[in-house]
Chains A and B, each alone.
Chain A
Amino acid sequence: MNMPPYRIRGSEENARKRLAAWLTERRIDQRLHETTDPHQPPPASALRYERSAPVREACVPGAVMILRPASDVSAAWGPVYVLIINHPHDGRVNGIPFSRYATPAVPGEWATGLALNPLRVLCLWNQRSMPISALLPGRAKTLPPKRMAELTRLIQGGFAGHEPTATTHRRLGPPLIHPADPRYDYLIEERKRLDDHLADHEKAAQNPGRPPGLIMLEGGGERAEWLLAAEGRPRYGSDHPPGA
């Protein structure tokens, strides 16, 4: 049986090199995850809704912040850095998570050009609206204005259906073509990682009758946070543990 006429258009050599780099790191990461870490603690015995700390003033476009840890601390996730891309509205803000890896995996991931390990790749495809209560107080960094401008152009161009420039294209991940490409599993895993971090805060945001300062205990009981005033939380750099 003959195929209809066609031509083979160049080669994907550069994209393959980038994919090879990503697959290498992915393989190492999976091997590191495979063995159960004997040092991980059991899940929290009580689910805590922390007081909504004053994060609002830190949440400006270009701010890099860290998500509060997922409530199930047995989940073996490191810190999730997010880039804030708008001003808060109604207690919510839009954030784009940074990847764990050094190279972009798919066309929806963009190499920022920053050398700082946690901030090398942005996962544009995983952008979310999130309650600001999901963020740890304080800005970790501000994305340089030039990068932020480049990112804004990229996002706006994407919405308008424009193809990225050649320069930008080189900073995006390689195409996802094969249906059994292992990157599909990575995308599912990343989506879940963010879901796990946001789930409790989304539930709290949907229960406006519950003041943010309440501590929810297993069994449905609750304690007002003011009862814990004597315990407090140590501020950054404090050498006084809670309750001291």
Chain B
Amino acid sequence: MNTGDTITTEAAWRAWKKACAAGLCDDATAGMLRAFGASRFRAALRRLGHTIGHYGVELQVAEAADAWHLLETQARVGANRAGKRYKDWLFERADRTGDGWTAAVEAGASLLMRDVVRETLRRNYAPAFMTSLQRPIAGDDVQPSALEDLLPDPVDPCDALSEREWRALADQHAAAVYPGLSSRQRIAMWGRSQGLALDDPRLLDWTQSSKSLLYKQYLVGVKFVASHIARSHPDEPAAAQRHMALYTLAALEKILSEKIFVEKRATRFLKKI
């Protein structure tokens, strides 16, 4: 039966599971599943909005018609029945809901179709924002802004003595930046160094902030350190500045571990952590 909220029927899904592929079902079932696939494909594309730019119209027309076939091809791990056990997953997921079995299967298939859209874009369309080392990759001014920030050229101190000097200088920088960090920034950086997620409810409670605010404060803190290093060594290449910033962040972790107890409400919250 086709309910008001679904565009497929339970019978169609069961026939599809028995037959293995839409192409082996009767015309009505195959047509229903293909229409469902196309509608979910287009819906997922609409969510991407401007990300796919001018390819949007072309993609929707050419690929949507083939969406169901793409799902059957991409979701399986083999041509035999065992390779199509994703159908067992789909049906078990629906079996777990109360009412609305067909709606639940459609919801599970929508998740699979989302993967198809992602894969289609990944394979067929060049990224719009990843063309050079320096070009910003995401987000606002606070996030690491380019590939060479995330993966700087490796820098090695020349020898063991030089390595000790690097670390000693990093300790000095860490001591210099510490007072300039806010309490939230310190707690966020300390939490990260302890392996806590920035949406950990204990950290959020301690800092009396939301997840997005604490994350932003964490990034502000990291950028503060990087800016300090850049100002302290303006004539050094970017790779060396980044390397010193990483050493400084490591040195800062040690200071934070020692001094975290002076932060407000620390005693109360460290008991929880």
Which residues from chain B contact A71 at a C-beta distance below 8 Å? 96
Q: For the complex, what is the distance from the CA of A233 to the CA of B94, rounded to whole Å? A: 12
CB within 8 Å of B: which A27-48 residues: 27-29, 31-35, 37, 39-42, 44-46, 48
**Is the Cβ of B157 less than 8 Å from the Cβ of A23?**
no
CB within 8 A of A29: which of B87, B118, B157, B192? B118
**Is the Cβ of A12 less than 8 Å from the Cβ of B114?**
no
Q: Is the interface of B mostly helix, strand, loop or mixed?
A: helix
CB of B259 within 8 A of chain A? no
Chain B 231-273 near chain A by CB (<8 Å), digits 1 or 0:
0110011011001101001000000000000000000000000
For residue A79, give the distance in angstroms from its CB to the closest CB of chain B. Answer: 4
> Which residue of A is nearest B103, CB measured?
A41
- With A44-B97, A79-B89: A7-B158 Cβ-Cβ less than 8 Å: yes
CB of A160 within 8 A of chain B? no
> Which residue of A is nearest B193, CB measured?
A179
Chain A 221-244 near chain B by CB (<8 Å), digits 1 or 0:
000000000000110111101100
**Is the Cβ of A136 less than 8 Å from the Cβ of B75?**
no
- With A1-B232, A118-B77: A69-B89 Cβ-Cβ less than 8 Å: yes
- With A141-B78, A182-B138: A177-B114 Cβ-Cβ less than 8 Å: no
For residue B256, give the distance in angstroms from its CB to the closest CB of chain A. Answer: 12
CB of A158 within 8 A of chain B? no
> Which residue of B is nearest A188, CB measured?
B197
**Is the Cβ of B82 less than 8 Å from the Cβ of A16?**
no
Chain B 36-78 near chain A by CB (<8 Å), digits 1 or 0:
0000100010011101000000000000000000000011111
CB within 8 Å of A: which B84-98 residues: 85-89, 91-93, 95-98
- With A12-B153, A66-B88: A40-B107 Cβ-Cβ less than 8 Å: yes
Q: For the complex, what is the distance from the CA of A239 to the CA of B81, rounded to whole Å? A: 16
Q: For the complex, what is the distance from the CA of A237 to the CA of B13, rounded to whole Å? A: 10
**Is the Cβ of A28 less than 8 Å from the Cβ of B51?**
yes
Q: For the complex, what is the distance from the CA of A140 to the CA of B87, rounded to whole Å? A: 11
**Is the Cβ of A180 less than 8 Å from the Cβ of B218?**
yes
Which residues from chain B contact A33 at a C-beta distance below 8 Å? 114
- With A41-B103, A140-B78, A188-B197: A178-B169 Cβ-Cβ less than 8 Å: no
Interface size range of chain A in the complex = 35 or more
> Which residue of A is nearest B237, CB measured?
A8
- With A41-B107, A66-B86: A7-B92 Cβ-Cβ less than 8 Å: no
Q: For the complex, what is the distance from the CA of A136 to the CA of B77, rounded to whole Å? A: 15
CB of B22 within 8 A of chain A? no
For residue B68, give the distance in angstroms from its CB to the closest CB of chain A. Answer: 16
> Which residue of A is nearest B76, CB measured?
A116
CB of B31 within 8 A of chain A? no
**Is the Cβ of B88 less than 8 Å from the Cβ of A9?**
no
For residue B149, give the distance in angstroms from its CB to the closest CB of chain A. Answer: 6
CB within 8 A of A233: which of B44, B85, B95? B95
CB of A155 within 8 A of chain B? no
CB of A149 within 8 A of chain B? no
CB of A56 within 8 A of chain B? no
> Which residue of A is nearest B157, CB measured?
A6
Q: For the complex, what is the distance from the CA of A75 to the CA of B185, rounded to whole Å? A: 31
CB within 8 Å of A: which B174-194 residues: 189, 192
> Which residue of B is nearest A32, CB measured?
B114
> Which residue of B is nearest A50, CB measured?
B92
Report 8 cross-chain contacts, Cβ distance below 8 Å, ordered by A residue.
Answer: A12-B151, A23-B130, A45-B98, A79-B86, A118-B75, A234-B14, A236-B17, A238-B18
10 tightest Cβ-Cβ pairs between the two chains A and B: A4-B165, A45-B98, A69-B93, A24-B127, A5-B158, A79-B89, A9-B154, A140-B85, A20-B130, A12-B151
